[in-house]
Chain A
C-alpha cells in the first residue's frame, strides 16, 4: 500500500490548527472558564513558612463563616495521604510538618471565590517554626537540618567513561549557575470536579498527562481507578508546569465531601506556588583536549536544587548528568550529578528538563577551550561533534540521526545581521528600548554559538506508550474518520498533527478528533518532545489496521459497517544505568544549534538581542509552520532564562510571584528568530519525525550568554545575566 503523503492536509504541510478558529473567537473553553450550575469554589490555605511543625489547626471559625460548605485538612484525605509522579512523598495537605513556603495546609469550598478566600483567613494554624535549608550546597553538609527523614539527597549518580584520569595537553575549568525559572503558562491551574452518581468523581482538568493524574488521584481519594474519570479541558500552555498534580486532588476531595461541583482556579500569585519550577543548578566542569582540539576528557559535577519534594528530580538530574559532556565525542569522562532536597519550592519539569542546565555549562567550557587553544569556537565544535555511531559517555551508541555538524554548518552559512550605527537609530532599537537614557555611545556587539541535545520521550527503562483508537464510517457526506487518544494538546498542536496523519494514512479529509479522557489507554505525557512520535505512532498504527480492514472489505465505497481499531505504540526499550552510569538510557535524541547576536550598552548594563538563529534536527517537519512556532517559542523561553527570568528566593520565600516582578520576554525583547530545519529522517519513528519542542530552549540560553561574553569579555558564570554583571567595562 503506497501512501500519498502529499495529500491535502496531510503530513508535511503547514496545515492550520484544528482549534485555531475557536481560539481566535474567544470560544475555546479553558479550564479556568469551566462552570456548572450550583458549583462551589475551592481555595487553598498555604504555609507561610518554608519549614515548620504544625502544632494545631483550628477550622471551627472557617466552617462557620458565611457561604462555606467544607473545610478540609489532611485528616479528611480518605485514602493515601501523599502523591507524587515518581515517589509519593508530597502530602495532599500538610501533615505535622510543612517543608516549603506555599505548601497546601487546608482547603475550603464556598459559594463564591471571595467567600472561600475570606474563610481561609479564619483558619487558625499554630506553627512551630523550624530552621529551613534553603541553599543546595548547604543541604549536603553533615550538620544541615534534614528536609526528609532519609536525608537531603534525592538522587546521586555518576557516569564513568574510559579512563577518567586520562591526561590532556590543555585544560580549562569553570563553575556555572542557572536560576530557578518559572514556566509561566498563561492559563492558570484550574479544573472542575463533579461528583458522580456512582460515588465517583468526574474531573475536567488542564493537565499534561491525564493518566498520571489519575494514578495519583484515585489512591488519595480512596476510590478504585474506574470511579475517577478525567476529562481534558482547554490547556493554556504547560511547559512542564502541569506535569505534577496541583489542584486536582483538592477539587475532587471538596466535590466528594460536599456532593456539589467544585471549581478551583489559581490566580497568578498562587500559580507561582502551585507548580514546580526549573531546577536551579550549580555546575563545575573541567575539560581537557589535545593541542589539535580533540576533546579527550570531561570532568563534571552537577548539583540541582529539587526543593521540598521529589517530583521529577531523579529524571532531571539523570538527564543533566548523562548529557554533561555535550553532543561531543569524548573518550574519557567522569560526570557526577546530585539532586538535593531543600526547603525551597519543589522543582520538576520544565522544557529542556536538565539538558538546559548542562548545556549552559558545557558550552561555556567549549568556548573557554577554543580560546585556550586559539581555535575558532565553531571549528572546535565541528571537530568534536557526535554523529550516527558515536558512543556517548554512558556507553550508549547513537543509532539514529545525529546531524550536529549539519546544524552547525547551517549556522556558519547564515550571514550576520548588518551592524546598525548606534547614533540616530530609533530609540526602540537600543538595548533597553525607550528606557535607554543614553544615545548608544557604549554599545558593544557580540556573537555566540551553542550546540546541544535533548532526549526524546522517557528514559532509563520507562515504557511511556501511547494508545489510539480510529474509526472510519461513511455517511451521506462521504467517509469520516474519528480519532481518540488521551494525548493532551497543550498548545503545541498534537491534535492537528493527528488529523494530518489520519488524512495521510487513510486519504479521508473529514477527521474528527474526540476530546481526550481516561476511558482510553494512556497517551503518556505531553512532555519530553514525545507526543508526535508516540501518539502520532499509535494513530498511524491504528489507521494502518483500519485501512487493511477496509481493503479486505473491498474498499471504501463498499464499506457498510464502520471499521475501527485500537493500537498501542511503544518506543524501543531503554535500560537503567549501572553503578558507573553505563547503559542504554535514552530512546533517541534531538540536536540543535543556536547563534545569538547581541548588543550590550555597557554604561547601563542593558542588552538587546539583535537576532537569534536556530538550526534544529527535526527528523522531518510534519507541519513546518508549527515546527517553527515551537522553535521560536522555545527560543523565547531560552532568552528569558538568559536575561531576565528567575524566581527570586529569599530564605525560601518567593519574592516575585507576579508578572509585575517576574519578567517574561515581551515582543520588544524578542528578536527575529531565523529557523533552519535540518531534516534527516529518524529511522523507526513515524515519517522520521523527531520531537521539536525542546532543543531551542536547551541551546538559546548558552548562545545568548556566549554572545554577551564575546561582547564584554566578562566570564558571566550565571544565568540570568543581570545589568550589574555587564556595567562598568
Chain B
C-alpha cells in the first residue's frame, strides 16, 4: 500500500533479538517497544503507559533491564535485546514463569510479561533478595489486578526453586 511517508525518512535498525539478528525499517521516532511489536511481531512486551511508569514493556538491552517504551528503536541498533519471548528454554517455562502461574500471580495478565522479566532480572542478580529489595526492584511495575500479594508469593517461590537448582 503506497502510503507516502511524510518528510522524515525511515531508518534501518538491526538488532539481535532473543539470539537472532533481526532487521527492519522504522520511523526515527519509533520506540524499541513499537519496533518489537509492530515491526518484528513480538507482542509479548506490552504497551500500557508509554511513559516509563508501568514496566509492562520491560526488556533487556545488552543485559540491562529497560522500559522499551523509553528507548528509541535506533538506540538498539547493533545491540542485543532479550524479551519475554526469549525466557522460555526450548519451549519450557522459565522458573519465574512457572511460579507466576502456580502462585496465582496472573489475573488479566497484561502486566505479567513485564513482571516476569523484571523478576527474572532481579533473581539473576540477587539469588535471595530481601523482601525490601524485592519491593524496591518491582516498584516500577504496576499491576492493577492482583494487589501484588501473589506476585510476591511468586517471587519467593521462584527464588526458592532457582536456589534448589544451583
Does A254 touch B at the CB level, under 8 Å? no
Cβ B110 vs Cβ A30 within 8 A: yes
> Are A186 and B142 CB-contacts (below 8 A) given A25-B97, A428-B132, A626-B104?
yes
> Are A24 and B48 CB-contacts (below 8 A) given A426-B132, A491-B145, A658-B53?
no
Does B3 touch A at the CB level, under 8 Å? yes
Inter-chain CA distance A33–B36, complex, in Å, is 12
Residues in chain A near residue B104, CB distance under 8 A: 14, 16-17, 625-626, 628-629
Cβ B4 vs Cβ A659 within 8 A: no
Q: Which residue on chain A has the smallest CB distance to residue B27?
A: A114
Does A111 touch B at the CB level, under 8 Å? yes
> Are A668 and B135 CB-contacts (below 8 A) given A118-B6, A236-B108?
yes
Cβ A658 vs Cβ B49 within 8 A: yes
**Within residues 42 to 101 of chain B, which ones have a CB less than 8 A from any CB in chain A?**
42-51, 53-54, 56, 83-85, 87-88, 93, 97-98, 100-101
Q: Which residue on chain A has the smallest CB distance to residue B94?
A: A24
CB distance from B142 to the nearest CB of A (A): 6
Does A667 touch B at the CB level, under 8 Å? yes
CB distance from A278 to the nearest CB of B (A): 14
Residue picked from A236, A429, A490, A491, most chain B C-beta under 10 Å: A236
> Are A629 and B107 CB-contacts (below 8 A) given A237-B144, A659-B54?
yes
Residues in chain A near residue B102, CB distance under 8 A: 16
Inter-chain CA distance A478–B54, complex, in Å, is 45
Residues in chain B near residue A633, CB distance under 8 A: 107, 144-147
Inter-chain CA distance A320–B138, complex, in Å, is 37
CB contact between B93 and one of A21, A30, A490 (< 8 Å): that residue: A21
Residues in chain A near residue B113, CB distance under 8 A: 24, 26
Number of A-B contacts (CB under 8 A): 192
Cβ A667 vs Cβ B108 within 8 A: no
The interface bits of chain B over 110-144 (1 if a CB of A lies within 8 angstroms of the residue's CB, else 0) are: 11110010000000000000001001101111111
CB contact between A28 and one of B4, B6, B50, B109 (< 8 Å): that residue: B109
Does A184 touch B at the CB level, under 8 Å? yes
Cβ B48 vs Cβ A188 within 8 A: yes
CB distance from A14 to the nearest CB of B (A): 7
Can you list 29 residue pairs at the A/B interface with Cβ under 8 Å? A16-B104, A19-B106, A20-B100, A24-B98, A24-B113, A25-B85, A26-B85, A28-B109, A67-B3, A67-B4, A111-B3, A114-B27, A118-B6, A236-B48, A237-B107, A237-B108, A237-B110, A268-B48, A628-B149, A629-B104, A629-B147, A632-B147, A632-B149, A632-B150, A633-B146, A666-B141, A667-B148, A667-B152, A670-B147
* Nearest 7 A/B pairs, CB to CB: A26-B44, A491-B108, A23-B109, A236-B110, A632-B147, A111-B3, A636-B147
Interface residue ranges, A against B (CB under 8 Å) = 14, 16-17, 19-21, 23-30, 32-33, 38, 66-67, 110-112, 114-115, 118, 183-188, 234-239, 267-268, 426, 428-429, 490-493, 625-626, 628-629, 632-637, 658-660, 664-668, 670, 672-673
